[in-house]
Chain A
């Protein structure tokens, strides 16, 4: 009972802070498991269609901006670094450093979304967005060595937009979560004894990063052999 008085963050239904922290951590790991299944459905669809329509997937992949994708990958990896450092800062009780690192993470996240938005806009301009105005004739011309059906490339782009779209949605949610905990950190709510929200938000962010690390080669690097 005393612990409930000492530790304001300890909620009444937990016996002690260790139990509370372990529950939060286990909860986030299981939640990430559900997210793996969520993305997994789309990955499964991707695998089936890639095997069936390889030329179309290769052509679609080559039309994506390798520069943008690589920069975005670097941006996300940096953001995971800042998250990890933020967790460390909270363990050491360094409030200012913590806030700065959290802000940096969000900044990287926003950069990622900005670059992604630019890519989508570009693809939309080229009529590669899977809308009613989809037209992939230019891909046929650009890929003379691939025997492809332009209609079927729409499946690649549909999966591309669905996958990166759902990923971006997760990024936006992540930035939202981080803005909340940044505010809490700024108000001094976290101490070396209590910084669970930072740890579990960090876990979520790392997960979103890892999804991208799978998406990048599967979407951007299908067949980038020079001269192919």
Chain B
């Protein structure tokens, strides 16, 4: 007889679609964002196939323009931004703080439905012809010139923003008001600190993109003229409004991934995180300073020289807390007891690739260099290093780390490590050549390109095919493990954290009794070593 847990507590589609259990909602999100990941990935496939040859010979230019637009919009708004917070954050935060659920369980479910409605509208937009403005919707192209479904896409993203806002709202209130007795702020897992910082950004930043896209929609439908130069409007104002959210948005995408790394590294080093206070403070600093750097996307957009200086300076500042985190994770490994589990391999990958991605961000913050590399493949390589090499690797690492807790099963360790390696190699082959071809001058969003850029594009496409395999493998073996995987013990990794003190999978209300916390976070010196078996193939 299986023990009662959140998965088998109730059966039937209604018990899932009307659930208020944060763990079930997390799984609903897992299914939805995985779906969108593959839709966005399909568009990436189209892009990379077209770019195998310099000529535009696989599809029309309009089709290609739609492909990169929808790849970007889907990946950013429907995959990356929700991913870790909506799946792992939703699942784990209440358990990590010793609570029975989030502060507002019904709002949690509402936020998933809002996501689904927005996703549905976006799929409708896609099915009826798509949108070709680039994920950035720059005016006046998007407001006056594009003949595609800008309104539907804009509205869909407007709506999905509210899903993000409500998730952030839930997390902030939960962390403030629902911590178990003894769970002080300084005992919180860094996962929670990072998600708290992320939630602040979600709350304060997302409304700006909402109103900005709404204004573009109104401009198109009612001919307002706010961004139309022939009537006194300023297209550059759009860019300021857009990037005021979209820059902090990238921190929404990376902070949760950093949250995961902060849990994985101490566990597989058997050592508390080096410099806990600094890592926690860095999360807050990244969120705060991240709001002050938006115009570094606009150095050649016609902003004044002096504001460019200010934004360049601040962009360098925001790099420091990220660097501090990388150093602290590395220092955590010093004199630790390291094991090379799948989550740890993803963490290594994150640290390496985020370092490269972050450093190339410095190139972009450097004014004189940005003039040359802005709007080239250098930028594309930079943001894929941080978003894919960083955020997605953190996401996959987190999925593997908490898979036993979520599903009650162990995934096959050998396949897990293999997939991690394939992802790492495929990723680098895909995106490293793009730094080179970008510096050579290949602009982004180009359907056709001069022949001298071809070799790099071919390398990149080859890498993408390897990366795709790396992403498909976990789909297969994780699903396989649901039926055939070893049953997971409560704490297979012997990790600290309240979520590991309950069963795998947990009961619906997380804890049979509310825990009373009297210990600090990451007290690995008191933990036994994990069972040899869980770390073997």
Q: What residues of chain A have their CB less than 8 Å away from a CB belonging to chain B? A: 11-15, 19, 22-23, 26-27, 30-31, 33-35, 37-42, 44-45, 48-49, 52-53, 56, 130-132, 149, 151-152, 154-155, 158-159, 161-162, 166
Contacts and interface: CB of A to CB of B under 8 A. Distances in A.
Contact of A26 (B176, B204, B208, B210): B176
Contacts of A130: 222-225
Contacts of A131: 222-223
Contact of A19 (B177, B206, B232, B241): B177
Which 9 residue pairs spanning A and B have beta carbons closest together? A38-B207, A41-B211, A13-B101, A158-B224, A152-B232, A37-B207, A13-B100, A23-B177, A23-B103
A132 B104 CA distance: 44
Contact of B241 (A30, A45, A151, A162): A45
A163 to B, nearest CB: 10
Nearest to A159: B226
A30 B203 contact: yes
Contacts of A56: 232
Contact of B232 (A12, A15, A53, A132): A53
Interface in B190-228: 203-208, 210-212, 214-215, 218, 222-226
Interface of B: 94, 99-105, 165, 169, 172-174, 176-178, 203-208, 210-212, 214-215, 218, 222-226, 230-234, 237, 241, 244, 509, 514
Q: Could you say which of B101, B215, B224 has the most chain A C-beta atoms within 10 Å of its C-beta? A: B224
Given A45-B226, A159-B226, A27 B212 contact: no
Contacts of B509: 12-13
Contacts of A23: 103-104, 173-174, 176-178
Given A19-B177, A23-B173, A152-B231, A37 B208 contact: yes
A30 B200 CA distance: 9
A33 B211 CA distance: 15
Contacts of A19: 177-178
Given A13-B99, A38-B207, A151 B231 contact: yes
A30 B173 contact: yes
23 contacts: A11-B105, A12-B100, A12-B101, A13-B100, A15-B514, A19-B177, A27-B173, A31-B169, A33-B203, A38-B207, A40-B208, A41-B208, A41-B211, A41-B244, A45-B226, A45-B237, A130-B222, A130-B223, A131-B223, A152-B231, A152-B232, A158-B224, A162-B215
A19 B19 CA distance: 23
Nearest to A26: B173
A49 B231 CA distance: 12
A131 to B, nearest CB: 6
Nearest to A133: B223
B173 A37 contact: no
B103 A27 contact: yes
B226 A13 contact: no
A27 B225 CA distance: 36
Given A151-B230, A152-B232, 5 more contacts: A12-B509, A23-B178, A26-B173, A155-B233, A166-B211
A124 B215 CA distance: 20
Nearest to A15: B514
Contacts of B223: 130-132
